[in-house]
Amino acid sequence: MPYTGESVQLKCVHDDTAYPTKFWYRQVGPGSPIVLIGYNYREQLTMEKDFNETKFTIQRVTDTESALGVSGVSVQDNAVYFCASSKHSETTREQRCTKLGAPRDAVLDIPQGFLTPHHFLTPGVYLILWVEC
């Protein structure tokens, strides 16, 4: 777990090259909206205006892998981060998404007392869900 001020990198990996566009989202608390951080299609990166490109970076590693970097983590970065892959980069059209579920190893259980005050995650169970749009 990172300490305040450190940098972290989250990876998103899948095995289908037909989904080259990678989206990164975050949800700051239960019931709060899931907000788009940014996305990349091949070499083109688009960051949302509320996310500073010096603090948040999105890197396309391959057509099947992307990385979200967060530098200088703080309590304000405490959130659940999601990634998604798509065949296209359309962000304005409404579309129906299919919940694909969560692999067994996508459940992260952080017990009470495990974290120190320097950690930016809170104790609880986090579930990473995969969707297809």
pLDDT digits (tens, 9 = 90+) for 6-27: 899 999 888 888 888 888 998 8
Output the six-digit token pair for 90.
């359309």
99, part of any domain: yes
Give the pLDDT confidence of 59-97 residue by residue, as tens digits: 988 888 899 999 999 888 888 888 888 876 555 545 555
**pLDDT confidence of residue 88:** 63
pTM of full prediction above 0.75: no
Supply the mean pLDDT for the chain: 74
What residues does 69 pair with on adjacent strands?
9, 57
**pLDDT confidence of residue 15:** 83
2, part of any domain: no
Chain centroid to CA 53: how far?
Answer: 15
Domain that holds residue 41: 8-132
**pLDDT confidence of residue 97:** 52
80, part of any domain: yes
How many domains does the chain fold into?
1
pLDDT grade for 104, boundaries at 50, 70 and 90: very low
Rounded to an integer, what distance in angstroms lies between the CA atom of residue 30 and that of residue 118?
Answer: 21
Contact 12, 85 (CB under 8 A): yes
1, part of any domain: no
CATH number at residue 117: 2.60.40.10
Q: Would the pLDDT of 131 be above 90?
A: no
